[in-house]
């Protein structure tokens, strides 16, 4: 089934590469984890045009929204086979292959800010771990250009949750895997629901809280109209958006072009983090001033308590594979250096 899907996708990806470019120019079909028209997808589109300019039309990225060419969790295979030339996608999608992808894709309750993980990726050995993971599962056919989160997600709630103790018995929506395990250990009762059911489930009281998305995204779909006690900054999720490309395509670039692509990704993600943080904070300020929404900001002591609980789940996940162990040990070493863990 997977091979059939990938074969069919090859025809579609070929059709996406019809733009005329100068001789020797490269056109890469890059699938994202974002729907067409979303704020982040639009951000990628703006920056795709910038890459074309930066390389003097030598490299053009044609973006495909989530699932347009292959299913969301098959981009790795499609890139290795040349069906896609790259992806800008959530690393956690590959968590079913190896727990290392879960630990590297979203270390639940780990880092306090996107900048801390950004530093870990480029200064703490994170990028090397990413490359080791993809080398193993693609037979070294995929190059990991970069890894960075876009934002620390907000936490939506219909009841005041001011610390770890308030999570006891709370029915909340959470993705399966590491996130659900951490919430369970904190005393909550995680429920697996698709994102499309979050609003109605909160509205009907099926759940009391939800791990969903950023403050801006939560606001845009009306969650704060029915869940008046959001926690911001969030206490849990900060998913990573990786940028990977076909290894042979990467090798064919000049040294200068590789440097441009690397710099381009870092600049694009820096810009995205800044914009989302500003947007989130502006909305938070408006909601606080309005008085209808009660924004809760956990104390550092409570955040540290949540991280300590999560650390036990990280360690258990690290026993899933040798790569997971390496990912866990790498995170812990960096977090201790940064004062995030004792």
Does the predicted TM-score (pTM) go above 0.95? no
Instruction: For residue 155, give the nearest of 190, 120, 119, 181 by alpha carbon.
Output: 190
CA-CA distance, 266 to 254, in Å (whole number)? 19
The one-digit pLDDT tens for each residue of the chain (342 residues) are 444 444 444 444 444 444 434 446 899 999 999 888 888 899 999 999 999 999 999 999 999 999 999 998 999 999 999 999 999 999 999 999 999 999 999 999 999 999 999 999 999 999 999 999 999 999 999 999 999 999 989 999 999 999 999 999 999 999 888 999 999 999 999 998 877 799 999 999 999 999 988 898 899 889 999 999 999 999 988 999 999 999 999 999 999 999 999 999 999 999 999 999 999 999 999 999 999 999 999 999 999 999 999 999 999 999 999 999 999 999 999 999 999 998
CA-CA distance, 311 to 111, in Å (whole number)? 11
Angle at 38 between CA 37 and CA 44, to 5 degrees: 90
Superfamily of domain 2-151+238-278: Bacterial extracellular solute-binding protein, family 7 (3.40.190.170)
CA-CA distance, 26 to 80, in Å (whole number)? 17
C-alpha distance from residue 326 to each of 121, 141, 142, 195, 267 (Å): 14, 21, 20, 31, 28
Helix residue spans in the chain (DSSP H):
2-15, 39-54, 75-80, 99-105, 114-123, 126-138, 178-185, 198-204, 215-220, 223-226, 247-252, 255-290, 300-318, 322-337
Instruction: For residue 156, give the nearest of 207, 90, 102 by alpha carbon.
Output: 207
CATH 3.40.190.170 domain extents, the chain: 2-151+238-278, 155-237+295-337
CA-CA distance, 116 to 132, in Å (whole number)? 21
Indicate the CATH number of 155-237+295-337 among 3.40.190.170, 3.40.50.720, 3.30.750.24, 3.80.10.10.
Answer: 3.40.190.170
């Amino acid at each position: 089934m997977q091979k059939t899907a990938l074969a069919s996708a090859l025809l579609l990806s070929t059709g996406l590469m019809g733009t005329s470019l100068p001789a020797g120019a490269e056109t890469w079909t890059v699938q994202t984890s974002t729907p067409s028209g979303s704020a982040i997808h639009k951000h990628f589109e703006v920056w795709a045009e910038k890459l074309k300019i930066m390389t003097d039309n030598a490299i053009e990225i044609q973006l495909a929204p989530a699932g347009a060419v292959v299913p969301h969790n098959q981009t790795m295979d499609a890139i290795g086979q040349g069906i896609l030339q790259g992806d800008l996608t959530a690393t956690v999608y590959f968590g079913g292959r190896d727990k290392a992808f879960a630990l590297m894709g979203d270390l639940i309750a780990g880092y306090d800010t996107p900048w801390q993980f950004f530093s870990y990726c480029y200064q703490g050995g994170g990028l090397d771990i990413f490359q080791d993971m993809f080398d193993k599962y693609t037979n070294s056919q995929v190059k990991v250009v970069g890894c960075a989160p876009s934002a620390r997600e907000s936490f939506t709630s219909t009841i005041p949750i001011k610390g770890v103790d308030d999570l006891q018995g709370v029915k909340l929506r959470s993705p399966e895997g590491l996130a659900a395990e951490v919430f369970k250990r904190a005393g909550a009762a995680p429920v697996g629901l698709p994102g499309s059911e979050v609003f109605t489930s909160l509205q009907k009281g099926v759940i009391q809280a939800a791990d969903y998305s950023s403050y801006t995204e939560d606001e845009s779909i009306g969650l704060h109209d029915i869940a008046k006690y959001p926690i911001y900054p969030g206490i849990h999720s900060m998913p990573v958006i990786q940028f990977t490309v076909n290894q042979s395509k990467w090798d064919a670039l000049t040294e200068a072009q590789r440097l441009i692509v690397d710099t381009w990704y870092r600049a694009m993600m820096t810009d995205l983090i800044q914009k989302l943080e500003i947007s989130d904070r502006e909305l938070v300020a408006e909601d606080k001033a309005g008085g209808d929404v009660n924004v809760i900001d956990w104390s550092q002591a409570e955040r540290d308590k949540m991280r300590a609980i999560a650390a036990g789940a990280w360690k258990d996940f690290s026993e899933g594979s040798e790569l997971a162990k390496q990912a866990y040990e790498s995170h812990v070493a960096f977090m201790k250096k940064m004062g995030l863990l004792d």
